Chain A
Amino acid sequence: MKPVLKVRGLRYRYPDGTQALDGVDFHLDQGECVALLGANGSGKTTFVLHLNGLLEGEGSVEVCGIPVTRATHAQVRAKVGLVFQDSDEQLFMPTVLEDVAFGPANQGLSPQDAAARARVVLEQVGMSSALHKAPYHLSSGEKRRVALAGVLAMQPEVLVLDEPTTSLDPPGRRELVKLLGDLPQAKVLVTHDTELARVLATRAVFFERGRVAAEGPVDELIRRFDWSSEVQKSAE
């Protein structure tokens, strides 16, 4: 399998001195889905921000064979679609259609072609009835779908999803999991939702204090780090 993401020795220190990443190696093959597990502050989100050059640390990041540098940002951002944890931050245009067309328009498509592509992906995520709605009139689940559509409209090869099921109600979560399962792209899932990781991911990577502590089958890592999100009722 050809790797779509290859990261070697990635280090990043925030301006306040916090060492967020301390030598991370990572790879993702075509069509693979990897769950990034780990405690809050272990460096998962900081790591994914490096995958399309939003943060630049030491070490090397390659996307489909292209090294991530300032000169390749446009190319890399077209290949790695990042869906943020807070959909409100991702939906900034006045209407759903304009928001989803934002990425394709930045890729150089004419307004008509960008809108046409936006309509296709909105249909795919089941949001074609909301074309002219303002994002603040949508529910959390709908916002998440539109945010996903905005990224899919750029036809990326890798999808990076940061906590995709946060603040979704159970039906919304089920629908999103099904939708994600049907998408052919390689995926990186940053999540605390171990059930989601079990259903979608083929492999898991466990982050600890800015390093990869372990990687392997999802169930094995969840057992090893006692990471299940299920709560047992205590015996009386």
Chain B
Amino acid sequence: MHHVVVEQWSRGSSPLHALDARAKLGALLGFLIAISTTPPLAQAAFAAYAGVLFSALVAARLPLGAMFRRAALVLPFAATFALITWWSGDGARALALAEKSFLSGLAALLLIATTPMTQLLRALDSLGMPRPLVLVIQFLYRYLFVISEQAQHMRLASRCRQGPSAGRRSRFRAAAGAVGVLFARSWERADGIYQAMLARGFTGRFPAFAPARFRIRDGAFLVAVTAISVAIRVSL
């Protein structure tokens, strides 16, 4: 089975991986607020934020190039707004917009790459995120792998029968058919899962997640990152 790379990273071991997910979530929130409220001309502050993220990436033993490439995926979305701003004659603001997007993307990616999804969901649950939303993400994440594996098998099967001369039109038709089949199969699977839940006594309420312990070092991390973010935001 081909797992997504970030999922594998999240199961690594480093000081950052060992921290409580709630501490990392809180720290991310503080960091993002600081970045988003930084004035466009404060380039020194952006350099400092980048420095903080770089140290965290090194501490988490994550592959830098691959992380930067993935964080850059946000740039095409930000680029539209940055271009409009640049055309309207505000180059500094356009640059800041792109920088803010990239740094925010990288910070969020850092959280996901150092926190297994199970811990992240438990943290969101204990921080008061509505339970149905947590469960939707939990199920989506659980079955995303199963469905994507099915999709990969179907793609291989269709390529085996298409031959090299298949035109774009026939490939498109095959893909559209595959999407339809995937949808129908996912629907059936959802039904199967629900039956399996009922068979084990499900009555509409999920058992509570076991709460994790919040240690002193988790608190220290949260305070330190928030303090650094505020210090950069205020002084640079």
A residues near B (Cβ < 8 Å) are 49, 52, 54, 74, 77-78, 81-82, 84, 86, 88-90, 92, 94-95, 98, 101-103, 105-107, 111, 114-115, 134-136, 150-151, 154
CB < 8 Å neighbour of B199 from A77, A86, A95, A111? A77
Main SS at interface, chain A: helix
Known: A102-B207, A106-B201, A150-B200. A94 touches B142 (CB 8 A): yes
A86 touches B200 (CB 8 A): no
Contacts of B143 in A (CB 8 A): 88
In the complex, whether B195 has a CB less than 8 A from a CB of chain A is yes
B208 touches A111 (CB 8 A): yes
Chain A nearest CB, measured from B20 CB (Å)? 16
B residues near A (Cβ < 8 Å) are 1, 3, 116-118, 121, 138-139, 141-143, 145-146, 189, 192-193, 195-203, 207-210
Which residue of the partner chain B has the closest CB to A88? B146
CA distance A195 to B1 in the complex (A): 30
Contacts of A52 in B (CB 8 A): 199
Contacts of B117 in A (CB 8 A): 94, 134
B200 touches A103 (CB 8 A): yes
B192 touches A101 (CB 8 A): no
Which residue of the partner chain A has the closest CB to B197? A92
CA distance A110 to B22 in the complex (A): 24
CB < 8 Å neighbour of B200 from A49, A98, A106, A135? A106
A135 touches B207 (CB 8 A): no
A94 touches B118 (CB 8 A): yes
Which residue of the partner chain A has the closest CB to B139? A92
Which residue of the partner chain A has the closest CB to B201? A106
A49 touches B203 (CB 8 A): no
A136 touches B1 (CB 8 A): yes
Contacts of B139 in A (CB 8 A): 92
Which residue of the partner chain B has the closest CB to A106? B201
Candidate in B1, B118, B207 with the most chain A CB atoms within 10 angstroms: B207
Known: A89-B193, A102-B207, A111-B207. A94 touches B199 (CB 8 A): no
- Across the A-B interface, give the 8 residue pairs with the lowest CB-CB distance, nearest first: A105-B207, A106-B201, A89-B192, A103-B200, A94-B118, A82-B199, A90-B196, A136-B145
A134 touches B195 (CB 8 A): no
Contacts of A105 in B (CB 8 A): 207
CA distance A36 to B75 in the complex (A): 58
Contacts of A114 in B (CB 8 A): 207
- A sample of 7 cross-chain residue pairs with beta-carbon separation below 8 angstroms, ordered by A number, consists of A84-B195, A88-B189, A89-B192, A94-B118, A103-B201, A106-B201, A134-B117
Chain B nearest CB, measured from A119 CB (Å)? 13
Chain B nearest CB, measured from A171 CB (Å)? 20
Known: A105-B207, A111-B208, A136-B1. A92 touches B199 (CB 8 A): no
CA distance A150 to B200 in the complex (A): 8
Which residue of the partner chain B has the closest CB to A109? B207
Chain B nearest CB, measured from A212 CB (Å)? 23
Contacts of A102 in B (CB 8 A): 197, 200, 202, 207
Known: A98-B207, A106-B203. 18 other contacts (CB 8 A): A74-B201, A74-B203, A78-B201, A81-B199, A86-B189, A89-B195, A92-B142, A92-B193, A92-B197, A94-B142, A98-B209, A101-B207, A102-B200, A106-B207, A134-B116, A135-B142, A136-B1, A136-B3
B146 touches A136 (CB 8 A): yes
Chain B nearest CB, measured from A26 CB (Å)? 19
A84 touches B200 (CB 8 A): no
Chain B nearest CB, measured from A131 CB (Å)? 12
CA distance A151 to B201 in the complex (A): 10
Contacts of B198 in A (CB 8 A): 54, 77
B193 touches A136 (CB 8 A): no
Which residue of the partner chain B has the closest CB to A105? B207
Candidate in B139, B199, B201 with the most chain A CB atoms within 10 angstroms: B199
Chain A nearest CB, measured from B3 CB (Å)? 8
B118 touches A77 (CB 8 A): no
Contacts of A95 in B (CB 8 A): 118
Candidate in A77, A103, A136 with the most chain B CB atoms within 10 angstroms: A136
CA distance A102 to B197 in the complex (A): 9
